[in-house]
Structure 1
Amino acid sequence: MANSASLSSANFSYVKNNIKGEATATYILGIGGLAKETLVNDAKQKMLTDNPLKNNQALANLTVNYKTSGYFIFYTTCTCTVTADVVEFK
């Protein structure tokens, strides 16, 4: 695997903890908004735009959370939050 790294040995250090990005979709009568995969990609892109990775850095402990709120089926919003830690390899 050319694009893999092992976090099992002491060859890295944490640079940033709990960086995050968010994306929100709005649905009216269940129509509109973005697919969940697109929400995740948008949130991850925002996270990386705000926290660009440098050489020898990678994301670790990546989590994806969704929060849906609204007024029954008439008006609904879905917010996707992606969080991660940034590690740097020696």
Structure 2
Amino acid sequence: MAKVLVTIEDNLLKRIDRSVGDRGLTRSAYLSELARRDLDAQLGPGADPAVHAAWDRLQQLGREMEYATDEDVVSLVRRTRDERLERFS
């Protein structure tokens, strides 16, 4: 594990010290937790290759579907639901 020297404003350091005291953490643990949380938030679920693969598959399925219909959307959804229920009953 690496050690680093950082410069922090005095008032901010006092606030950090109060927070770590309340939580029972060290400064290092607290700052590591903040850095990890911030970096993880930047990645989001899109950083996962499985998410990209699933999205690509959904897009492919969308390209393969036939959209042309004059049927009301609500009726279409209900009919599709009913057909699936009959098939799996």
TM-score normalised to the size of structure 1? 0.23
Select the structure with the greater relative contact order (CA < 8 A; seq sep ≥ 6): 1
Whose radius of gyration is greater, 1 or 2? Answer: 2
Larger relative strand fraction: 1
TM-score of the aligned structures, taking structure 2 as reference length: 0.23
* Richer in helix (by share): 2
